[in-house]
Amino acid sequence: MRLILTLEYDGTPFHGWAAQPGLPTVEASLRAALGETFSSVEHLAVAGRTDTGVHALGQVASVDVEDGPPPERAAAALNPRLPDAITVVSVSSAPDGFHARQSAYSRSYRYRLYTRSTPSPFELRRSWWLPRPLDEDALAAAAAVLPGEHDFRAFTPTQTQHEVFVRVIERAEWIRRGDHLDFEITADSYLRHMVRSLVGTMVESPEAIPALLEGRARLEAGVTAPPWGLYLVAVSY
């Protein structure tokens, strides 16, 4: 039986999603919990392989299992076996042919800035604290040019396994929520560090974004924003 799992996690204690020998990862924790809950666990796949320190509000995984609780009771069985930083929000049966990564047609991320003049212990490792003034009109104008098809090679490390740098952005905007300024983006897929590099560049020099979308070199763009402000919010199928 193939299951669809929707997950939330705090990425702080993990070295990203993908299992790595000797390091705590979300995948390793989930595999261990699945192995304690079902007699057989195969073909675990995930919609987005988040990096070290990156969080998720709506991560989606698919997995083939046998001999365990039915889907409606699987979350309750899995959660006591997971670290406190990971929660299985829901579990359902997958339709024929469903694959968490290959079946997805878009993924939405949020990057959160915390702009209060003083830091907050509750924002530590949850957002990027930037107390200096930001030109929010310029940030909005930079985000407005992102939707559509562009070459994003300026926003991924120079040393990369990517061969195609063109991505299609469905939506991109900055949203003010009290002391938070959030960048939200939806796309078909992303390059490594793409969202964080976009945020870092917009914060440093928002006016540079249009020219950088013409396939410029990485060194022409800005810094890569820290991972702890990034959240995988939702996956659409």
Give the residue numbers annotated as catalytic, written as ranges.
Answer: 51
SS3 151: strand
Instruction: Round to whole Å and give the CA distance between 78 and 86.
Output: 10
Find the farthest-apart pair of alpha carbons in the chain and give their distance in angstroms, rounded.
56
Residue pair 188/106 in contact by the 8 Å Cβ criterion: yes
SS3 145: coil
Instruction: Round to whole Å and give the CA distance between 182 and 203.
Output: 12
Q: Look up residue 53 and give its two tokens.
A: 């320190």
Q: Look up residue 197 and give its two tokens.
A: 């590099």
Q: Which amino acid type is present at position 83?
A: P
Beta strands in the chain (DSSP E): 2-9, 40-46, 55-66, 86-93, 106-114, 128-129, 148-151, 166-177, 180-187, 230-236
Instruction: Round to whole Å and give the CA distance between 216 and 150.
Output: 11
Residue pair 52/125 in contact by the 8 Å Cβ criterion: no
Instruction: Round to whole Å and give the CA distance between 117 and 153.
Output: 34
